Chains A and B, each alone.
Chain A
Amino acid sequence: MSNERRQILEMLAQGKINTDEAERLLDAMRERNAGGAEQATTVTRPRFFRVFVKGEDEQVDIRVPLQLIRAGVKLGALIPPEAQAKISGKLEEKGIQFDLSNIKPETLEELIDGLSGVSIDVKDEEETVRVFCE
């Protein structure tokens, strides 16, 4: 039994509300819960990854379809391990620690699901950076 339902029944038992009022409250609670469930099922998945940077004089706005990232990861998985190691090595030489073999379609899906509710906003006096999914 939910906490709210118990509270309504306790109020009824204590005589604070009558049966009609209790029924109305229970109906209202049921409707609200049904609406919430419906809302939860109709939540749309994000389609684009957006990076927006605004400086004093410049502005960059990039919108990448998430399907393109998925397709790119799938294509990247075809790169032979030896070539992946070479790419990672070259990237490391440039100071970028990025291992291509760590990106797998399954982990990417988890990442995208996690990103759907995330919005990164960084703002200072001169610049604004926003990274989000839409």
Chain B
Amino acid sequence: MIFPPSILRIRIKEQDSKGLGLCLPLFLIWPIILAIGILLAPVVLLAAFITWPKGTGKRLLLAGPYLFNVFCRVRGLRVKVKDKEDNVYISFS
């Protein structure tokens, strides 16, 4: 079972400032994403049905699950950038 990332950590520190540290609980937006998905499903299905003869219907139908897959696979992404003055850290877990 694949789960979307649950926590997003952001740390930004500049030389002359205290810096900013955020720990965003992404799991709180899971229900929102689910609700949006359920609401959009009939619209996407209808659009896919209409555009099926043109060949774009299949793409439209797969776009949702594939986008969700990309969102889930972001878990583990980590970016650290540091120089003399600034320090940026972003991590999905």
Contacts and interface: CB of A to CB of B under 8 A. Distances in A.
A61 B79 CA distance: 6
Interface stretch (A37-45, A72-80, A111-119): A72-80
Interface in A53-80: 57-65, 67-68, 70-72, 74-75, 78, 80
B52 to A, nearest CB: 15
A78 B63 contact: yes
Contacts of A48: 76
A74 B66 contact: yes
B18 interface: no
Contacts of B81: 58-61
Given A58-B82, A65-B75, A65-B76, A71 B56 contact: no
A interface secondary structure, majority: mixed
B11 interface: no
Interface string B45-81: 0000000000010010011001101101111111111
A57 B69 contact: no
A67 B76 CA distance: 10
B77 A71 contact: no
A58 B84 contact: yes
A78 B59 contact: yes
B67 A75 contact: yes
A67 B73 contact: yes
Interface of A: 47-48, 57-65, 67-68, 70-72, 74-75, 78, 80
